[in-house]
Amino acid sequence: MSDDGHGRLLVVRCQLGEREAFHELVHLWHDPLWRYVKGMVGSPDTADDLAQEAWVAVVRGLPRLRQPERFAAWLFTIARRTVTDHLRQTYRTPPTTTDVETEADGDDSDAGVLTALEIQAGLGGLPPLEREVLLLFHIQDLPLAACADVLGVPPGTVKSRLHRARRMLRDVLVERGYEA
């Protein structure tokens, strides 16, 4: 999923109006986009809605994207704005129901899944800025410069947020009884 020559070509083909190219682009990027959004909002249903909103914004903005090689950073910037708008609206409107969702995805005997669930639980205990930088850098595997672009901060700020976020995640996991 790196911004290689194929990725740039795919974006240009989309800009030229090739429907099949857009389907390929969505196929390539939907899962990482959805995982990022879900990591920020917690709810799979809300993540579905927000990911769809983000794709609508991509369709509208893609013709104006001047640097196809920066598609990943551009996509996650759109997703970030979509999530931010949703969170603002959520905080303005008092909740009428409790949205507590528990998911049992996969077999609990699988140690890899259990570790992922532990980390996901820890991420949920972090403030949004720290959670976001960990999701972008470690889960979405974006390079430091792309994270800086998405977050709109210098790379040095990303580094310091990553350091603080890792420490906070470790503390949250230890507090919940997981090994450090």
| 111 and 142 Cβ atoms separated by less than 8 Å | no
Average the pLDDT over 132-146 and give the result: 86
Which is more confidently placed, 177 or 41?
A: 41
* pLDDT tens digit sequence for 26-62: 999 999 999 999 988 888 999 999 999 999 999 999 9
Which is more confidently placed, 90 or 13?
A: 13
What pTM did the predictor assign? 0.64
pLDDT computed for residue 117 by the predictor: 62
CA distance 65 to 22: 14
Average per-residue pLDDT for the chain: 81
Query: What is the per-residue DSSP string for 50-106?
Result: HHHHHHHHHHHHGGG-S-GGGHHHHHHHHHHHHHHHHHHHHHHSPPSS--------S
pLDDT computed for residue 110 by the predictor: 44
pLDDT computed for residue 94 by the predictor: 54
Residue that has been written with the tokens 């997703």 in this structure? 79
CA distance 77 to 73: 6
* pLDDT tens digit sequence for 58-84: 999 999 999 999 999 999 999 999 998
